[in-house]
Structure 1
């Protein structure tokens, strides 16, 4: 039966029902309200985004597949993120919102991963009205206005979770955010049943930060100097030192923030510095996406132009894959 016919039948049945003598009478207005609600869903949510499974499919399997196919050199992130999200989504009685904090140098894939997460969990991806992306230098540019920002941010989170419990909030440049503004997010990450009648236990928060990048690079370089594979690095090798580094560093944004000292961040996920081979992979993917034929040739030219550290060994890209797209622009024109 067509959707419109179903709703029409429901309306007719609602009007024709009579209260049972054994039950409390149900008013015609209540029945009409229920039918109108169903009609609204079928006619409105088929064409406009709603907070439903059709629009929020929460495709964790697709997320894992996309990470394995599209993300290079980040085995820890590929292993941890899908498991963390799947465990959270499958828990019908989660005690708090999910909070992921992604750390590493620029160009290592943090923003890229947040976009893949949004595209896997929401039908409209980053364009979903339930995905909210904040960039510190754009949304909170003036330190003198921090008090105003705190109020606005809390109102924004409260209002949006009121509309959809499965909201996703992405905060970029956390290392540039004042600690007191970061702490204003704290109530939404706590173990509360609700705040002012709104539960935040199904919401997700992702923090992106360059803070801790030096510590991550130090560990990875140490593995390399000892002749060990980067793939042998585990989250436990970095998580404790990473959380301490960002907590005690005045330039991290997380300096002495209550989000850390009260253990409200569920996962600190390190993004490792990318090697030459990973830059080649990034360049190949970019060239292939443009359907250019000389894939290997262009990818190698791009990778060779990048700056690497330490200077003597030239092991890790200082900008990761950040400028790969611009260099592909040049070489696909020049070749």
Structure 2
């Protein structure tokens, strides 16, 4: 009877129990095992752990969030979910996933990295398994390059050792010293293990303004020929983008071994945003703060932005950057009137 009660207790807790005979022979060890298992389960639910509960890897949610919240970037909306879904569906990938996202300021590069983090990790950008590096903040001095390389490699090694599903986001890659960029190379390569650690299930995301001018030229040429931006395909830009950032001495990617050795899996262009996209950004900013009658204010915000070419004023120079600040101004002004 006593053994039966113990068995039912273990089953109710969802635990794997020792055989009834072992429980009868060693009751103290049996209950100690239950207590330890219960503690570990409670801890994993209350404190972030490297488990499916905390890293759901929700690609379906990612697709929906991109379609709903990312404006004017049809290539990114198509390519990014497919790239991540294909990577996650492989239980034994040959290398870590590396996405390099390029475009002018304000086009949504940082925003999309946030959406990815929120879809794959329960805690989003606050997850201890998501690591953000900003070149001007974390690697500001060229004379400290050797120190940065060592510290960065130790950081990546330590965090992937703790959780193989770690994600690393590098912002302002165009401002990063090429030697610091190349120090990441071993973690992106096709090694099964480095110092007894496998990096093959980690994700690396690079954000850069490099290549933005080339992207803008392509989009502007499409517009001049009377073609829709939605007709621009990923293949129309990917190779041009890779060559542009590799051969441009003004970017940290200049002759970087990451490109030379084909270790970047996807070059993803972010297109310059048009007036209509800025209106959508303003509406989203207002709706997130529960403002009503957003249409007129959103148009006012969009009209205040600067556009190029100078005569036609088609594409926003700053994308949707500063939209939130202008929304604050106009909503306050409307209240005062």
- Tell whether the structures are fold-level matches, with TM greater than 0.5: yes
CA-to-aligned-CA distance 1:165-222 (integer Å, 9 cap, x gap): 0000000000000000000000000000010110001000000000000000000000
Aligned to 2:176: 177
Shift of 1:38: 3.3
Q: d(CA) in 2 for partners of 1:129 and 1:33?
A: 30
Q: d(CA) in 2 for partners of 1:64 and 1:113?
A: 11
Shift of 1:323: 0.6
TM-score (norm 1): 0.92
Aligned to 1:151: 150
Aligned to 1:200: 199
Aligned to 1:90: 89
TM-score (norm 2): 0.92
CA-to-aligned-CA distance 1:62-108 (integer Å, 9 cap, x gap): 00000000000000000000000000000112100000000000000
Shift of 1:130: 0.3
| Unaligned stretches of 5+ residues in structure 1 | 19-27
CA-to-aligned-CA distance 1:143-174 (integer Å, 9 cap, x gap): 11110000000000000000000000000000
Contact in 1 for aligned 2:173/2:207 (Cα 8 Å)? yes
> Aligned-residue CA RMSD in angstroms?
2.3
Q: 1:7 to 1:60 in 2, by over 3 A?
A: closer
Q: 1:233 to 1:9 in 2, by over 3 A?
A: closer
Contact in 1 for aligned 2:178/2:253 (Cα 8 Å)? yes
Q: 1:255 to 1:141 in 2, by over 3 A?
A: same
Shift of 1:288: 1.2
Q: 1:211 to 1:14 in 2, by over 3 A?
A: farther
Contact in 2 for aligned 1:215/1:245 (Cα 8 Å)? yes
Please give the residue correspondences for 1:113-262 in structure 2 after superposition, counting only pairs within 5 Å: 113-262=112-261
Aligned to 1:278: 277
Q: d(CA) in 1 for partners of 2:171 and 2:39?
A: 36
How many residue pairs end up in the alignment? 326
Aligned to 1:73: 72
Shift of 1:252: 1.3
Q: Per the alignment, in what secondary structure is the counterpart of residue 272 of structure 1?
A: coil
CA-to-aligned-CA distance 1:30-85 (integer Å, 9 cap, x gap): x9997676344312101000000000000000000000000000000000000000
Aligned to 1:25: none
Q: d(CA) in 2 for partners of 1:230 and 1:9?
A: 57
Aligned to 1:23: none
Q: d(CA) in 2 for partners of 1:204 and 1:251?
A: 26
Contact in 2 for aligned 1:175/1:254 (Cα 8 Å)? yes
Shift of 1:10: 3.6
| Unaligned stretches of 5+ residues in structure 2 | 1-7
Contact in 1 for aligned 2:10/2:34 (Cα 8 Å)? no
Contact in 2 for aligned 1:3/1:42 (Cα 8 Å)? no
Q: 1:197 to 1:240 in 2, by over 3 A?
A: same
Q: Per the alignment, in what secondary structure is the counterpart of residue 170 of structure 1?
A: strand
Aligned to 1:16: 23
Q: d(CA) in 1 for partners of 2:266 and 2:32?
A: 44
Q: Per the alignment, in what secondary structure is the counterpart of residue 93 of structure 2?
A: coil
Shift of 1:16: 2.9
Q: d(CA) in 2 for partners of 1:91 and 1:113?
A: 23
Please give the residue correspondences for 1:91-106 in structure 2 after superposition, counting only pairs within 5 Å: 91-106=90-105
Contact in 2 for aligned 1:308/1:317 (Cα 8 Å)? yes
Q: d(CA) in 2 for partners of 1:4 and 1:153?
A: 45
Q: 1:246 to 1:8 in 2, by over 3 A?
A: closer
Q: d(CA) in 1 for partners of 2:57 and 2:229?
A: 31
Q: 1:146 to 1:16 in 2, by over 3 A?
A: same
CA-to-aligned-CA distance 1:253-304 (integer Å, 9 cap, x gap): 1000000000000000000000000000100111111111220010000000
